[in-house]
Amino acid sequence: MKSTAIAWRSKRTVKLERRTEQLRKSREELERARDAAEQASIAKSEFLANMSHEIRTPMNGVIVAELLEGTELSEQQRRYVSIILHSADTLMDLINDILDFSKIEAGRLELEAIPFVLRDTLGDTLQTLAKRAADKGLELACHIPPEVPDHLVGDPTRLRQIIVNLVGNAIKFTENGEVVVDVTLEGQKDDGTRLQFQVRDTGIGIPEPQQERIFEAFAQADTSTTRQYGGTGLGLAIAAQLAEKMGGRMQLESTPGAGSVFTFAADFGLAPEEKKARPLREAELRGRQALVVDDNATNRQILEEIVVNWGMIPIVAPDGVAALNALERASGAPPDLALLDLMMPGMSGFELAACMRLRPGLKEMRIVMMSSAGRPSDEALLRRLDVSRLLVKPVKQSDLLNAITDALGVSMREDEGEGHASAAHLRTSPGLTVLLAEDGAVNRQVAVDLLTKRGHRVVAVGNGQEAIEAVERGNYDLVLMDVHMPVMDGLAATAAIRALAQSGKARVPIVALTASATAADRERCLAAGMDGYVTKPFRAAELFRVVEQYDPMRVPLPEEQVTAVLTQPAAADASVLDWERALRNLDRNEALLRELAAMFLIEYPKLIAALDAAYASGDAAELRRAAHTLKGSADVVGADGVVTAAQRLADLGREGNLAPVPEARRALKAELDRLEPALQRAMLDAE
Ligand code: ADP
């Protein structure tokens, strides 16, 4: 009996062991399969990234068609060229999408953290989409309530990309009604803010079963819509992943036939400007009345909120007749200002203005009109009706403020004067003398031809060594420097040119020409002493924008927006960086300070490494020496935060007290992290 039980148990044990062994084997197999799948996925993403990068290169050649456009062509040839260019644009968009997508998949997409102005960024972005909306008769509006901070730190390019995608889709899939971007404040801390972005439309909507799938790559709500609307189905996948990186999952609510609402949240830092109390030009508007007339309820609400925030007292009306009635009913003096929508059913903005001008009390009223993009404006009529300004919708708040203060003759403080085209700016430029260092024959030809036609003078060389020689010999306003070149690359050449500057030569701006523009690439360019970059293949407009911002005689065009340049408003946080003090110490030799700052950025990681090695080997004297050197260099460039943190480490070294070093080392790291962007900005602003 006993032996049977033992036999049974051992049989069971054997069975169990066999089973365990089987399980272990299958788990190993699963793990192997998973590893292989992960490897395959990484390989695929890398392959995609490389492929799209490689495809961009021959695109340089295709874009030569832009040069053809400027030559004498028959009508038929012109049509063909336009088809080539249009296809090139589409192909570039597609390649960029694939590149982004593969970067995200491979976990290689980095977000930037640079200061930007939210209202202007969104305003400019929507202006680029305004024509498309206007062509379909759609109202495009942007609502950012006053409590949402304006000076943020984050990645404006990627934010723009998400918004362009969502708003582009909303316009594409909406035939009547409106597309609205709504920003709300979700939460605010001392150093950061969380915003919610919502893009809503009154379009065809997305059926329930497709709503989940829509964020997957290559997914479209209805394959039949693709034929009608075009597109690849990559846009939303990218937008959703970017949103996820910025702070939250993208959500969708949609009712077929009624419209869609896409929502995402994003976290931003607050730029130092946000924390400072700014002198307000708006103060001069306080207490003045403004008449707001727009048939679109969303726009009315937005305009009302904006003028109320500036302290004005609004009288709001949905159409001309209601406006005239309201004016009649209002007691006291008539409003100083009217904000009129131009395209309104019934009485248009022009007709309303004409009626107002006929009334004795309203002759003096200042009128600012708002019209959709692409609508022809009637200059003569605007003059006759004494309209102060015609703004294109969706109106940017800063443009509206300028228009209103100009119309009312409100004085502007000097410190707010930038960005305003004064008469003195409106001179014509004799053009720049540009040195182009580029080894690729196609790109060289394109750049030379584009810039020459534009009235600049270009000298082209084929490598970094020749570039240095040219800069030594000649006088250039600007150097365009390819990064990868034979003999000597662009970074080494830039460093050498910067070294020339020290021996008395004037500092020439150097702009990188680069095929890949990751944050790391740009840092390398900056560290080498470059001032900005243009991504290849470059298009004429972008090249001109970047080049001509170095032209002091340039006529500033309001719609020009320098996208690919690193210039950002200075972060004036003196606890991090006191550039002004450093400048004073160097007899205001800005060129020298920039050199020293660039050197500091290159040198400090070595000192940190020395410091860490000293701590690891318990060498207090060496730790003190490294910290002391770091403090000295930081002091020269005005990096006050780093000076203090390094001093503490030096003190610990002197006392031979190594226990608090890790904590002091962390504090130093935090200071360096704060310093690096501030220093780079200061170097650019110094230009
Ligand atoms: P595509 O390049 O095809 O537009 P997206 O990823 O941007 O790719 O969009 C995927 C699909 O989602 C679209 O083809 C469309 O069917 C649907 N879609 C996106 N946005 C909207 C919207 N606002 N209204 C209706 N359908 C939409």
Q: What percentage of the chain has pLDDT greater than the value 90?
A: 25
What atom in ligand 1 is closest to the CA of residue 222? 16
| CA-nearest residue, atom 20 of ligand 1 | 169
Reported as a single tens digit per residue, the pLDDT across 393-411 is 889 888 898 899 888 887 5
Residue 413: predicted pLDDT? 41
| CA-nearest residue, atom 7 of ligand 1 | 235
pLDDT tier at 116 (50, 70, 90 boundaries)?
very high
Q: How many of the other CB atoms lie within 10 Å of CB of 491?
A: 20
Q: Residues 6 or more apart from 624 whose CB is under 8 A from it?
A: 649, 650, 652, 653, 654
Q: How far apart are CA 530 and CA 598, in angstroms?
A: 10
Q: Tell which one of 132, 166, 210, 220 to mutate to probe ligand 1, the residue whose CB is within 8 A of the most ligand atoms.
A: 220
For residues 20-41, give the mean pLDDT.
86
Q: Give the least confident one: 88-92, 228-232, 253-257.
A: 228-232
Q: What is the largest CA-CA distance in the chain?
A: 120
Instruction: Give residue 235 CA to ligand 1 midpoint distance, Å.
Output: 8
Instruction: Give residue 577 CA to ligand 1 midpoint distance, Å.
Output: 46
Q: Are 447 and 544 in contact (CB under 8 A)?
A: no
Q: What percentage of the chain has pLDDT greater than the value 70?
A: 85
Q: Residue 551: is its pLDDT beyond 90?
A: no
Per-residue CA distances from 331 to 187, 314, 323 (Å) = 41, 14, 14
Instruction: Give residue 284 CA to ligand 1 midpoint distance, Å.
Output: 45
pTM: 0.57
Q: Tell which one of 222, 236, 242 to mutate to probe ligand 1, the residue whose CB is within 8 A of the most ligand atoms.
A: 236
Q: Are 323 and 354 in contact (CB under 8 A)?
A: no
Reported as a single tens digit per residue, the pLDDT across 606-630 is 888 888 889 988 889 889 888 888 8
Q: Are 123 and 401 in contact (CB under 8 A)?
A: no
Instruction: Give residue 240 CA to ligand 1 midpoint distance, Å.
Output: 12
Residue 303: predicted pLDDT? 94
| CA-nearest residue, atom 16 of ligand 1 | 221
pLDDT tier at 255 (50, 70, 90 boundaries)?
very high
Instruction: Give residue 102 CA to ligand 1 midpoint distance, Å.
Output: 20
Question: Who wins on pLDDT, 397 or 166?
Answer: 166
Residue 558: predicted pLDDT? 32
Q: Residue 569: is its pLDDT beyond 80?
A: no
Most confidently modeled range among 72-76, 264-268, 276-280: 264-268
Task: Name beta bridge partners: 266.
Answer: 195, 247
For residue 197, the SS3 value is strand
Q: Which of 387, 40, 634 is nearest to 649 (CA)?
A: 634
Q: How far apart are CA 55 and CA 60, in angstroms?
A: 9
Instruction: Give residue 169 CA to ligand 1 midpoint distance, Å.
Output: 6
Q: Residue 9: is its pLDDT beyond 80?
A: no
Backbone angles phi, psi at 120, to 5 degrees: -70, -40
Q: Are 303 and 312 in contact (CB under 8 A)?
A: no
Q: Give the least confident one: 91-105, 142-156, 176-190.
A: 91-105
Residues with CB under 6 A from ligand 1: 165, 169-170, 173, 201, 203-206, 214, 220-222, 225-226, 231-237, 260
Most confidently modeled range among 4-18, 574-588, 595-609, 659-673: 659-673
What atom in ligand 1 is closest to the CA of residue 165? 7
Residue 221: predicted pLDDT? 61
Residue 75: predicted pLDDT? 84
Instruction: Give residue 221 CA to ligand 1 midpoint distance, Å.
Output: 7
Residue 556: predicted pLDDT? 41
Residue 2: predicted pLDDT? 57
Per-residue CA distances from 89 to 66, 84, 94, 134 (Å) = 11, 9, 9, 22
pLDDT tier at 587 (50, 70, 90 boundaries)?
low
Reported as a single tens digit per residue, the pLDDT across 414-442 is 334 333 333 222 224 577 889 999 887 76
What atom in ligand 1 is closest to the CA of residue 238? 6
Amino acid at the residue 337:
L
Q: Give the least confident one: 79-88, 238-247, 301-310, 642-651.
A: 79-88
Instruction: Give residue 213 CA to ligand 1 midpoint distance, Å.
Output: 11
376's tokens: 């022809």
Instruction: Give residue 201 CA to ligand 1 midpoint distance, Å.
Output: 12
pLDDT tier at 46 (50, 70, 90 boundaries)?
confident
Q: How far apart are CA 213 and CA 205, in angstroms?
A: 14
Say how many residues make up the chain: 687
Residue 687: predicted pLDDT? 59
Question: Who wins on pLDDT, 174 or 53?
Answer: 174
Q: Which of 456, 450, 444 is nearest to 541 (CA)?
A: 450
- Helix ranges restricted to H, 111-207: 118-135, 156-172
Q: Give the least confident one: 131-140, 268-277, 352-361.
A: 268-277
pLDDT tier at 560 (50, 70, 90 boundaries)?
very low
Residue 299: predicted pLDDT? 93
Cis peptide before 156 (omega within 30 of 0): no
What atom in ligand 1 is closest to the CA of residue 234? 6
Question: Who wins on pLDDT, 494 or 499?
Answer: 494
Q: Give the least confident one: 135-139, 302-306, 588-592.
A: 588-592
Backbone angles phi, psi at 131, to 5 degrees: -65, -40
**Tokens 């790559």 found at:** 217
Backbone angles phi, psi at 265, to 5 degrees: -110, 150
Q: Give the least confident one: 100-109, 633-642, 674-683.
A: 100-109
- Helix ranges restricted to H, 577-686: 579-585, 590-616, 620-637, 640-655, 661-685
H/E element, 208: helix 208-211
Per-residue CA distances from 297 to 190, 344, 589 (Å) = 35, 12, 56
